[in-house]
Structure 1
Amino acid sequence: MKQTEIVVIPDDWDLKRLGDICVDMIGGGTPSTSNESYWNGNIPWMTSAHILRRFVRSGQKSITKGGLQNSATHLVEKDNLLVATRVGIGKVAINKIEVTISQDLTGLIIDKSKAFNEYVYWQLTYNQRKIKSFAQGSTIKGVLRTDLAKLEIPLPSIIEQQSISEVLSTVDDRLDIVERESQRVERLKVGLMKELFDGKKWKVVNLSEVVEIFDNKRCPLSSMGRSKLKGQYPYCGANGIVDYINKFAYDGEYLLIAEDGGDYGKFGDSSYIMRGKFWVNNHAHVLKAIEEKTTTKFLFYILNFMDLTTYIVGSTRTKLSQKKLQQIQIPLPNLNEQQHIIEILKVVDKKVSLQQSKKSKLENIKKSLMNDLLTGKKRVTVTQ
């Protein structure tokens, strides 16, 4: 291994600036949207919002030859790199088509004799935080091409670059499959909830009729205060566990619903269940189901299914006040039907949880491999 000014890399690797392995670094622009003749042509055009995965295979919109010639946009030949240098700084993709780009993007034309484009993709992804640190400006931040060109990239031989890319891309492809399956299961759950809850002729009650509210035991603790109370009990906020401390105020099964900062729309995640010993700050209401009328799990499902935005008060700082919380109208079937609904949705929840677990494991594997392979801490076997 050899020590460079910034990192330690293997003896047979080089450290090159990004600008030194690029034939060109291309800026972008947007044709005038008031000139209809510039749009809906046959030349793909995109912004950084269109970078969602490793490859870009289509344009976001299309422009005409006139739009290309009369604006700051440029055409980036396929199999090069697109880096977000203005909005979404640090996002990167390989374009599998010729595409024109907006001012949000910089096109990197890689010198194929010096670097393999997918390897450079992985290096830029790994260095996303560093790219963000180059950003300048007050209102809209951006990264200058001259600064981006200074980013230092560890470079093994081309064949090792290809081998490293193959390993990382294999894991990334698997992760993509898992993410798509997760989305499919989530859509299945949404469909099931619509079928189970929509259009039912159940009695409607105020939430206050089926729960007890225990907000009086909540107590916010500053981050400094929590640092002195580190322990095993969850410290909960509006959207979940924030920290762990050595004290608890609640013991049992409760439903927590965001007082502020929650996703209150239909199919949102405004509520969650806590069991055991825990502490709650003043950003979540604490509810306990009245067992003769309902269950915590049913309330969790129905509240996250419902659109609660009509109960939100305030203009600048919006919140779900305790008064409005109590007024939420809940469709309430009998206990047997509630349990039937719970059992159906629990099956889907297990599938969701399984996909989330697979995704988390693959993300950890990917992160570990990137840290090892892109720095030379571990080497891949290279077959000539």
Structure 2
Amino acid sequence: MRYKLSDCVTIISGGTPKKSQESYWNGNIPWITVKDFNGKYVSTTTDSITLEGLKHSSANLTEDQDILISARGTVGKVLMVGAGYTFNQSIYCLRADRSVLVPDYLFYWLEKNVSLVKQGTHGSVFETITKDTFDHLTIDLPDIEEQKKIAHKLSMFDRKINLNEQINDNLLETCKTNLHQLINEKEYEVTQIGNLDLIVSDHVANGSFKSLKDSVKYFDEPNFAIFLRNIDLKNRLDGNLKYIDKTSYNFLKKSHLFGGEVVISNVADVGSVHRVPRLKHPMVVGNNQIFIRSKNQSMNDYLFIFFNSKWGQHAIHSITSGSAQQKFNKTDFKKLNIPIPTDNWVDNHISPFLKMTDLNKAETRLLKRIKSSLLNKYF
């Protein structure tokens, strides 16, 4: 049966307590922004508010299995939450009428039909959806039992994907613990304090620049090469991927990636550190990022963990400057002196754990492809 989406959900707006009121922030109530949308389920939130902040703002609390959808800027990202979360005004909460609509089914319908949601956006500078947008969306609903069956099949994939990501988070924490012991306990495996420019045997380079855009064609659909303009903070290839054709890829030859490189944001999201996955597709890195490629894979593994640690972040921030926009340059970065362990230490304490994360990520990519085919089948 076909419904107007606004007839089978309650639409709830978000809000932000006054930033200037310290008593409103850093409480026990998680507060979600679009940057917390990673996968189906929320894991952690960057910010939290107090009960006082909740009472003195337009923020609202979620209930179990509410669906959040981003409504401004990056429109159409969806997230399922439990009870007790709050969210800002760039997000709508959709609360399903469970007499006709299963919340999980709604989540997957929105995930598959994000293009329909975006068709209802407004604004010349930022894409925005309003409550009226949901009046113009219609949804075909099978009976409740059929909705549950479909949602259950798709949820199995998301649960496994979520588990893989939790395991990978734990593996990375193990690597950081091992690094902490190495540096704090001054283990003998630290051979030297080395200059980064001398340590990296291949090169440290900038990604492609916006000034090249006239010579590069970007595509939203898969093409010859993946253009990694952003890898998210959990080092995943989720969302907003761009692609380029073979001519553009050849033009950007100085920014080619082959897997295993370390990519560090040097403008805006300064210090965000990523490890490039090994994929069958050609890849190229975008602007505002520096990438490190060493001929020694153990060194790549070590640098990824080091620059993700408090010592690495401190080193990056020591060369970061700018009032309007924080940034650092490649020259200063290459002069950084950092502790360097033996290859043997890295092979025992870092690389095995990263290999396990790679296997989990490969499985996750496969699971997402299968899930995508099921979304196409059911919706």
**TM-score between the two structures when normalised by the length of structure 2:** 0.64
Which residue is equivalent to 2:90? 104
Deviation at 1:146, TM superposition (A): 0.8
Which residue is equivalent to 2:220? none
Structure in which a larger fraction of residues adopt strand: 1
Deviation at 1:84, TM superposition (A): 3.4
Q: Quote the RMSD (CA, aligned, Å).
A: 5.4
Of the structure 1 ranges 344-353 and 89-98, higher mean CA displacement relative to structure 2 is found in: 89-98
- Distance change (3 Å), C-alpha of 1:358 and 1:34: same
Which residue is equivalent to 1:19? 6
Deviation at 1:142, TM superposition (A): 3.4
**Given that residues 47 and 104 in structure 1 are in contact (C-alpha distance below 8 angstroms), is that contact kept between their aligned partners in structure 2?**
no
Q: How does 1:21-60 map to 2 (within 5 A)?
A: 21-22=8-9, 24-30=10-16, 46-48=31-33, 54=40, 60=48
Q: How does 1:329-344 map to 2 (within 5 A)?
A: 329-332=337-340, 337-344=342-349
- Give 3-state SS (helix, strand or coil) of 1:103's partner: coil
Q: How does 1:186-265 map to 2 (within 5 A)?
A: 186-198=172-184, 199-200=186-187, 202-209=191-198, 261=266, 265=271
Same amino acid, percent of matched pairs: 21
Which residue is equivalent to 1:309? 316
- Distance change (3 Å), C-alpha of 1:278 and 1:32: closer
- Distance change (3 Å), C-alpha of 1:106 and 1:338: closer
Q: How does 1:18-167 map to 2 (within 5 A)?
A: 18-22=5-9, 24-30=10-16, 46-48=31-33, 54=40, 60-63=48-51, 68=55, 72-73=58-59, 78-86=64-72, 89-97=75-83, 102-137=88-123, 142-167=128-153
Q: Residue 364 in 1 paired to residue 369 in 2?
A: yes
Gaps of 5+ in 2: 218-222, 232-236
* Rg (Cα) greater in structure: 1
Which residue is equivalent to 1:355? 360
Q: Residue 327 in 1 paired to residue 335 in 2?
A: yes
Deviation at 1:351, TM superposition (A): 0.9
Deviation at 1:109, TM superposition (A): 4.0
Q: Could you list the per-position Cα deviations for residues 227-248 of structure 1 after superposition, in whole angstroms to 9, with x for gaps in the alignment?
A: 7xxx999999999998665798
**Given that residues 84 and 106 in structure 1 are in contact (C-alpha distance below 8 angstroms), is that contact kept between their aligned partners in structure 2?**
yes
The whole-number CA distance in structure 2 between the counterparts of 1:211 and 1:41 is: 44
The whole-number CA distance in structure 2 between the counterparts of 1:281 and 1:83 is: 27
**Given that residues 213 and 285 in structure 1 are in contact (C-alpha distance below 8 angstroms), is that contact kept between their aligned partners in structure 2?**
no
**Given that residues 57 and 95 in structure 1 are in contact (C-alpha distance below 8 angstroms), is that contact kept between their aligned partners in structure 2?**
no
Gaps of 5+ in 1: 1-13, 290-295, 375-384
- Give 3-state SS (helix, strand or coil) of 1:115's partner: coil
**Given that residues 80 and 95 in structure 1 are in contact (C-alpha distance below 8 angstroms), is that contact kept between their aligned partners in structure 2?**
yes
Deviation at 1:153, TM superposition (A): 1.6
Deviation at 1:356, TM superposition (A): 1.0
- Distance change (3 Å), C-alpha of 1:343 and 1:317: same
Deviation at 1:19, TM superposition (A): 1.6
Deviation at 1:145, TM superposition (A): 0.2
Q: Count matched residues.
A: 339
- Give 3-state SS (helix, strand or coil) of 1:149's partner: helix
**TM-score between the two structures when normalised by the length of structure 1:** 0.64
Q: Could you list the per-position Cα deviations for residues 87-118 of structure 1 after superposition, in whole angstroms to 9, with x for gaps in the alignment?
A: 76434345543766653343334333332222
